[in-house]
Structure 1
Amino acid sequence: MLNEFSKYIFAGIVNTAFTLISILLLTYIGCNIYIANGFGYALGIIASFIINSCLTFESEISFRKGTKFLIVCLMSYCINITVIKCILKYLDPGGVYMAQVLGCMFYTITGFVLNKYWTFK
């Protein structure tokens, strides 16, 4: 499982770079910043699904798995936002950076566990 988690983290780093480059390139060629951001994230999710299918979980790509992957992304994001809100409300109202870091950690762990045991099982 540690090897898979390491691959998942690596896939996340590659995907983050791909998403950011896509957003910046679209912005550079004149796309509206919000459209560039939306398309960049969409491309990033597609890239993440492909990378995690092939590298992390060594699983065949299918529409069903893609749908599950999108659901996991949404669930992970909701947990991320919940963690951030709870930290800012109950623990440290000024700790925005700590809240973001912990939110990202929960997002990553949630995404890995749900993808491993549900999307790509």
Structure 2
Amino acid sequence: MKRAEIFSFQFVRFLVVGVANTLVGLSVIYSAKYFFHAGDVLANAIGYGVGICVSFTLNSRWTFAYKGLMVPAAVKFFLATAVAYAANLLTVMTAIDGFGINTYMAQALGMPVYTVVAYLISKYVVFRLKIQ
């Protein structure tokens, strides 16, 4: 297979994991609110926590077929998530404050930025195996 084909297939897997992770996280948020009467902040934190764990598990095993040490990879993954979120937030705020874009549209513009940054950091930093 050519390098571009591997990249594309791997990126599609990354996107599929993102959809699954979003559905799981949102289900947990709604369940926490409905069944346990959790407030929005607590429900959101629990849902995102579960979603990030699902994302790490699926991406490490399925998307990147990672065979390295999991604890260091998990730490890097959580840091990568924070960097991707910062890139998303910077995009959203720049779109709103710098270009006067509607806030709903700005939120949508931030999503692909998050996805691409998270993918690139995951591929080249988090789940990269050193060749010896």
| TM-score, normalised via structure 2 length | 0.86
Whether 2:75 is the aligned partner of 1:67: answer: yes
Listed one character per residue, the Cα deviations across residues 41-97 of structure 1 (whole Å, up to 9, x for unaligned) are 101100100010111101136110000000000000000010111111222x24222
Counterparts of residues 68-87 of structure 1 (less than 5 Å)? 68-87=76-95
CA distance in 1, matches of 2:28, 2:114: 22
Provide the aligned C-alpha RMSD in A: 1.2
CA distance in 1, matches of 2:41, 2:62: 31
CA distance in 2, matches of 1:94, 1:52: 33
Structure 2 segments unaligned to the other structure (5+ residues): 1-6
Whether 2:17 is the aligned partner of 1:11: answer: yes
SS of the equivalent of 1:59 reads coil
Shift, 1:108, TM fit: 0.3
Whether 2:62 is the aligned partner of 1:55: answer: yes
Q: Report what 1:90 is aligned to.
A: 98
Listed one character per residue, the Cα deviations across residues 7-55 of structure 1 (whole Å, up to 9, x for unaligned) are 0000000000000001111111222332111111101100100010111
Whether 2:108 is the aligned partner of 1:101: answer: yes
Structure 1 segments unaligned to the other structure (5+ residues): none
| TM-score, normalised via structure 1 length | 0.94
CA distance in 2, matches of 1:106, 1:94: 16
Shift, 1:99, TM fit: 1.2
Q: Report what 1:114 is aligned to.
A: 121
Contact 2:95 2:101 in 1 (8 A): no
Q: Percent identity?
A: 28
Instruction: Point out the structure with max Rg over C-alpha.
Output: 2
Question: What is the aligned residue count?
Answer: 120
